[in-house]
Chains A and B, each alone.
Chain A
Amino acid sequence: MSARLPSGGLIDRTRRLRFSFDGRRHEGFAGDTLAAALLADGVRLVGRSFKYHRPRGVLTAGPEEPNALVELRSGARREPNTRATVVELYDGLEAQSQNRWPSLRFDLLALNGLFSPLLGAGFYYKTFMWPAAFWEKVYEPLIRRAAGLGSLSTAPDPDHYEKATAFCDLLVVGSGPAGLMAALVAARSGARVILAEQDCLFGGRCLSERIVLGDGSAHRWVQSVVAELAATPGVRLLPRTTVVGTYDHGAYTAVERVNDHVAAPPPFEPRQRLWRIVAKRAVLAAGALERPLVFGDNDLPGVMLASAVSTYINRYAVRPGERAVLYADNDHAWATVADLRAAGAEIVAIVDPRPDARARAAVVARDAPLLTGVVRRALGGRTLQGVEVVGADGHVHRLDCDLLAMSGGWAPTLHLTSHLGAKPRWDAERSMFLPEQLPPGLLVAGAAGGELTTAAALSTGIRIAEGSLQSLGIAPRGVTPPVAGEEADAWTPLWRAPSSRGKRFIDFQNDVTTDDLELAHREGFGASEHAKRYTTLGMATDQGKTSALNGLATLAALTGKSIGEVGTTTYRPPYTPVAIGALAGHHRGPDFRPTRLTPSHEWAREQGAVFIESGAWLRAQYFPRAGETDWLPPVIREVQAVRSAVGLCDVSTLGKIELKGPDALRFIERLYANGWQTLAVGRARYGVMLREDGRVMDDGTVARLGEQHWFMTTTTANAVAVYQHMQHCHQVLWPELDVQFTSVTEQWAQFAVAGPRSRELLRRILASGEDISNDAFPYMAARAVTLADGLRGRLFRLSFSGELAYEIAVPARHGDAIIRRLAAAGEDLGVVPYGLEALGVMRIEKGHVAGNELTGRTSAQQLGLGRMLSTQKDYIGARLARLPALDDPADTQLVGVRPVDGKTRLVSGAHFLPLAAPTTFEHEQGYMTSVAYSPSLGHWIALGLLKNGRQRHGERLRAVDLLRSQETEVEICDPVFIDPQGARLRG
């Protein structure tokens, strides 16, 4: 049976849209919400409730909807818990009801209702407490099945989300009469304006109520204002955009649903856009939310908010019922009676608890009986069939009806005023929470500020905008509001719910009733924040938009306090649920952050490199050849090639910093723990940098390229941190030093050329005049060089591998050409590319510390670098590095480790324990930090940190890894496994 009215509404009757709900086919019109189209098709049962699986219908016509939650779309785009009241209809829309099994009409789990004493307040805490193991295996799956919201698609979201930032003089939140007036004042005054409206249409209440403004309908007035705003430069209109959060200094977050109203976003368009709006001033004109009334079984489908009834009639041309009862404690709701009559519905009765309303209500009551009293209980099975009314005289009336329009007055939508922490104040006279302390720059207009009539909304919108503009030094241009008709707005709130045999719901979404709050109060959880946690009142997707006030009023009655004394719980962003996808934007998967590629990346890819993430970089891990299926054979081959011939490795990822200036030396002296005074031009030196607490921060090399020209490297991982630290040292600690420095990490491609034949290879690519003989260019030499083709570069004789080795640097754009030239020129020398694994193996063989040892908790003394600490100068960390605790033999020291049997594979992370002692924490003596298979020695080796390790070379210990259930007998040795005299690297 169609409930669609033959005419009227803001729908486009020329555009029919097909959609399905639980597999059944329906039709609606463009301009419908899903809820409107379902109601138009006579569908009243749209979901089952959270705990008790009670039948539920549409309660509201907006984002506050607690009941009509559906799963939208299918497949990867399936989205649970969308509110049918704000889902715009599109052709082909698919929706499924939630919380029912096997079907919405026949829900076996509605039996939960019979066990409801078990599911009362605190049931999570009480019923399922013990034993703990049962929680994961039994209770949680049970609860998830029985009491849950919709289900997620487990497929990756196929859509894009983007982020945008906008700046304005005035942000207007909401486009009802107040918001439109505020935006118009600002627009005419030449201010930059953003008008954000959560709906697809501007107008707010003008879309829902039959309001006359000036000499026409409010809707026509809205269209003219919006047209003027759209034509004004500097005005940005953002429909379908919910401002969800207020942040410091005028920053707001908003979600624009760019393509939620179509089946799938068009190509290259996002589904949603997350706005950061930076506003000098903002006007909150978000309106107010109508309060439901509490009575028995007030959750039956057919019980709706009066404002929603009016909205479905006026905006969507849908008559939500044939025989209606209005139950309201305020005069404003009487407009719904007129709307229902105009829609052809029968008014069965008006029920009003206020004795003084009788005289005024006569105007609207006409032929309908006016009952002074309260609704005690709604009657019906799956949908409403009648109500039980208790009159003021005690008589009980049974009224047949299929629609109950209820109104408990209005609660200002002031969430955005509280996001910075200020709690609203209870205004007992007006029976509202109103903002007390506003975020700087934000003012409230219209119903959001408690001004419930259209006339007051129009005038406060103008006044607030004028004041905001003046405070910015912008002269406001006058706007005359249209004349609004008289509105009845008398209100005497009804807080108490009459006792009833039916469940009296306060929070529809969480199935929280007055009995639950009474129980919470009895059990000592009557404070509002306690009651919320104990009963789940005000939680989940609607965050108590329709339930908060009734909950507080009930707690107030139970505790004998006023609502103001009970106080609200804290409002936090977001105002409405925000998809994680929108918060992530493009930052997901491999795009979470930019991937940095080395200059030789393309060449390495052609060589078949396997890449690994190293910080933000992608680096070659190893270069497998045909037939090498595991990682170890290529690594062994690469190490052997470097130790016997020559290898190439891209080391451009090391942080590179260039320093110049008369005080550069002084600055470097203070930065590093070791001394630099004696470093000659053309030479490089290894350096250790401490933090001020005396622990090692980073290490690297510093080359002196000129008298006042220095070049330093940092580890890949610490490049950013060290640069920032240097800026801190220069700008904050020693601004008097005349030194300039900048990061050139990305400006230089740098390749290690390592192995006994490296000199021979380099000679082939350098200009013929470059003398790199051992005498002319010894170990730790550094200088500019010319390549064979005239390209200028830098050559460093540095060795991380322990072999004769160089690092050659060229401008990054030539990196690809140079690595290819090196590879080609070295073919007959047996040159191989080597990756991060081989690099790691060789540094472990040489006992060089790296990230696994530079943990930020180790001292230079622990790492065997104690002799580098200068006593001749001040430097960062100098003082605290001298504390005895940093060189305590009882603490760990760097050692080498090898398996006693010469065979067993070592695992990093294994802990050292004495051979005889039990495997307990008290006997733990350190752990293995880095392990490698040493091709040079033919067995596994490791570096480790061992208590008093330097004195224990030759001692045998157990290396225990409880995670991998491995225990190996190991022998402690010197950390330098290969060429301890360094003969090779000086050759």
Chain B
Amino acid sequence: MRIHCPHCGPRGHDEFVHHGDAVPQRPQTDATDAAFHDYVYLRDNPAGLYRELWFHAAGCHSWLIVERDTRTHEIRSVTFARGDA
């Protein structure tokens, strides 16, 4: 698999560390225990488009959000998790 890091360009997936679902957002401090439980433990496992986190460990150390189709491994987009370009 090849991932186009917006900083480094296309690289083999073995340069990256996979971190799973990028969708859950860390709850605010005043959120319920249940919200925190869901954030820590509950992950979707869709057959289809998936937003997931990858860390470019053997590259620029950017955390990336990769939109990947889990059925075909087609990658739709790769963006910096921190937001800016």
Contact = CB atoms under 8 A, between A and B. Distances in A.
B37 A735 contact: no
Contacts, number: 61
Given A693-B40, A727-B55, A732 B63 contact: yes
A724 interface: yes
B26 A728 contact: no
Interface in B35-85: 36-37, 39-41, 53, 55, 57, 61-63, 73-75, 80-84
Given A247-B1, A727-B55, A727-B61, A733 B19 contact: no
Interface string B1-34: 1100000000010000101001000110101010
A276 interface: yes
Interface stretch (A248-256, A335-343, A378-386): A248-256
Contact of A728 (B2, B39, B55): B55
For the residues of A in contact with B, the DSSP-based class is helix
A692 interface: yes
B82 to A, nearest CB: 4
Interface in A237-262: 247-251
Contact of B2 (A249, A730, A731): A249
Interface string A869-889: 000001000111001000000
A278 interface: yes
A814 to B, nearest CB: 27
A879 B1 contact: no
Contacts of A692: 26, 36, 39-40
A249 B75 contact: yes
Contacts of B41: 693
A251 B2 contact: yes
Nearest to B75: A249
Given A276-B12, A731-B82, A732-B63, A248 B40 contact: no
Most chain B beta-carbon neighbours within 10 Å: one of A165, A250, A724? A724
Contacts of B2: 248-251, 278
A247 B53 CA distance: 21
A735 B33 contact: no
Contacts of B12: 165, 251, 276, 278
A734 to B, nearest CB: 9
Interface string A408-447: 0000000000000000000000000000000010000000
Interface in A358-409: none
A251 B1 CA distance: 7
Most chain A beta-carbon neighbours within 10 Å: one of B17, B26, B75? B26
Interface in A435-475: 440
B85 to A, nearest CB: 13
Contacts of A878: 29
Contacts of B40: 692-693, 880
Contacts of B61: 727
A878 B36 CA distance: 10
A249 B29 contact: no
Given A250-B2, A731-B62, A732-B82, A724 B33 contact: no
Nearest to A732: B81
B71 to A, nearest CB: 9
B1 A732 contact: no
Interface string A775-787: 0000000000000
A596 to B, nearest CB: 16
Most chain B beta-carbon neighbours within 10 Å: one of A276, A692, A878? A692
A732 B26 CA distance: 10
B17 A879 contact: no
Most chain A beta-carbon neighbours within 10 Å: one of B2, B31, B62, B75? B2
B83 A724 contact: no
B15 to A, nearest CB: 12
Contact of B36 (A165, A251, A730, A879): A879
B29 A874 contact: yes
Nearest to B65: A732
A626 to B, nearest CB: 45
A109 to B, nearest CB: 46
Query: What are the 9 closest A-B residue pairs judged by CB atoms, nearest first?
Result: A249-B2, A735-B82, A731-B63, A248-B1, A874-B29, A731-B82, A248-B73, A879-B36, A732-B81
Interface of B: 1-2, 12, 17, 19, 22, 26-27, 29, 31, 33, 36-37, 39-41, 53, 55, 57, 61-63, 73-75, 80-84
Given A693-B40, A735-B82, 15 more contacts: A165-B12, A249-B1, A251-B1, A251-B2, A440-B74, A693-B41, A727-B55, A731-B63, A731-B81, A733-B26, A735-B81, A735-B84, A874-B29, A878-B29, A879-B29
8 contacts: A249-B2, A251-B12, A278-B12, A692-B40, A731-B81, A732-B81, A733-B26, A879-B36
